[in-house]
């Protein structure tokens, strides 16, 4: 039964699953709407084509600003997955060697496998961070690429980006950094290849970008008609690119959302004594809270709460088949604990009332299940 308010209208669930996707910011939606009926394309002559090219260059500048660059190529893609594919497969040949951190997104592992290159996986500590010296030790004369993200998509942990940058600078290894989840900060470390996603930062779905350091070349994976300097074929979706730029230009109040995140953890940990945080407490994105509730079936709890609160779980789903999260396995979780992890992703519009209501719902179901001797509510 759908949740309704006192007037009988269907109530929208509190959205605490914003590491999966964020709603479009109102100002972003407005910017997109202004381009939906313009028509035209960047290559056409005349004033309309010039206006489109100006808008796209502004969007590129906004994306560059977000990732801490004033120069370099910005290639618009259909999303972060395609941008990762372009960065990884466009950099490697089968004779190369690559290094990937164990907690990277599955899309990175898929692209690495498709490249045919030899791959070494760098382990992480129980807090979810990779040791830069471990990365250095894995470098060989054939090492072409290191894949190390800015913020983990499941546990929110942030590596020592400055140390990773130093390893790459000293060894001459190209660094691909997935910055999709960097929702409340700008990137400052200066990777060679940076992946950006629109719908993770308040922009539209269906648009992402790869930002390349000047002089860093990749082989195109979508050839098409040679658009975007031959790096990615296909007519650009101008409205979506403008929306991505508008979202990239806005960095939200990290301290406010961090305070709400910490309040949520306090409420959960006080009510559920066995609850524990997954990943580094200090080196974590402000909008993420990953919590293990031992003995609780996280997916069943999420389904039971779905009408009231949207929350993520720690399991990955591929083709409709659940499988344990490789990220949680990498930080040492085993057995039933792998199925007992909740991921909370807060956003710009999250309020203290949202956090309290979400905590109440989780606590009621978790405590009730424990008292009833069940792993989860029916």
Catalytic site residues?
A: 317
**Closest by CA position to 329, among listed 138, 81, 154, 161:** 154
* Contact assessment for residue 317 and residue 191, using Cβ atoms and an 8 Å cutoff: no
CA 6 to chain centroid, in Å, comes to 36
Vertex 121 angle, CA 276 and 171, to 5° = 115
Rounded CA gap, 67 and 247, in Å? Answer: 13
Which secondary-structure segment (H or E) carries 58?
helix 46-66
* Contact assessment for residue 84 and residue 108, using Cβ atoms and an 8 Å cutoff: yes
| DSSP-derived secondary structure letter, 260 | H
Q: Report the SS3 class of residue 311.
A: strand
Tokens encoding 369:
């299940």
Residue with tokens 């057995």: 335
| DSSP-derived secondary structure letter, 17 | B
| DSSP-derived secondary structure letter, 157 | B
How many Cβ atoms sit within 10 Å of the Cβ of residue 33? 11
Rounded CA gap, 67 and 173, in Å? Answer: 19
Pairing mode of beta strands 276-277, 288-292: antiparallel
């Amino acid at each position: 039964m759908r949740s309704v308010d006192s007037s009988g209208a269907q109530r929208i669930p509190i959205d605490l699953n914003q590491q999966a996707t964020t709603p479009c910011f109102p100002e972003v939606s407005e910017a997109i709407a202004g381009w939906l009926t313009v028509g035209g394309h960047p290559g056409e002559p005349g004033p309309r084509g010039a206006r489109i090219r100006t808008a796209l260059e502004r969007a590129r500048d906004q994306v560059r600003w977000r990732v801490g660059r004033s120069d370099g190529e910005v290639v618009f893609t259909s999303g972060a997955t395609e941008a990762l594919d372009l960065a990884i497969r466009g950099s490697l040949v089968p004779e190369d060697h690559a290094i990937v951190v164990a907690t990277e997104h599955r899309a990175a592992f898929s692209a690495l496998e498709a490249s045919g290159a030899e791959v070494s996986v760098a382990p992480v500590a129980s807090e979810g961070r990779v040791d830069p010296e471990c990365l250095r030790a894995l470098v060989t004369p054939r090492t072409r690429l290191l894949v190390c993200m800015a913020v983990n998509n499941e546990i929110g942990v942030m590596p020592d980006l400055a140390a990773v940058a130093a390893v790459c600078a000293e060894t001459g290894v190209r660094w691909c950094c997935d910055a999709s989840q960097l929702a409340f900060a700008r990137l400052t470390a200066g990777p060679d290849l940076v992946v950006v996603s629109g719908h993770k930062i308040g922009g539209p779905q269906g648009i992402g970008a790869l930002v390349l350091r000047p002089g860093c070349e990749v082989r195109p994976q979508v050839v098409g008609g040679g658009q975007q300097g031959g790096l990615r074929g296909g007519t650009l979706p101008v409205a979506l690119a403008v929306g991505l730029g508008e979202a990239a230009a806005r960095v939200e109040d990290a301290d406010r959302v961090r305070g709400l995140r910490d309040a949520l953890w306090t409420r959960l940990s006080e009510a559920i004594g066995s609850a524990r945080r997954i990943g580094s407490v200090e080196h974590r994105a402000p909008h993420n809270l990953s919590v293990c509730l031992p003995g609780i079936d996280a997916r069943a709890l999420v389904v039971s709460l779905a009408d009231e609160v949207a929350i993520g779980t720690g399991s990955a789903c591929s083709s409709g088949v659940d499988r344990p999260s490789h990220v949680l396995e990498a930080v040492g979780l085993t057995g039933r604990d792998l199925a007992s992890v909740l991921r909370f992703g807060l956003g710009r519009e999250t309020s203290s009332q949202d956090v309290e209501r979400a905590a109440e719902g989780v606590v009621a179901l978790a405590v009730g299940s424990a008292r009833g001797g069940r792993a989860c509510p029916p």
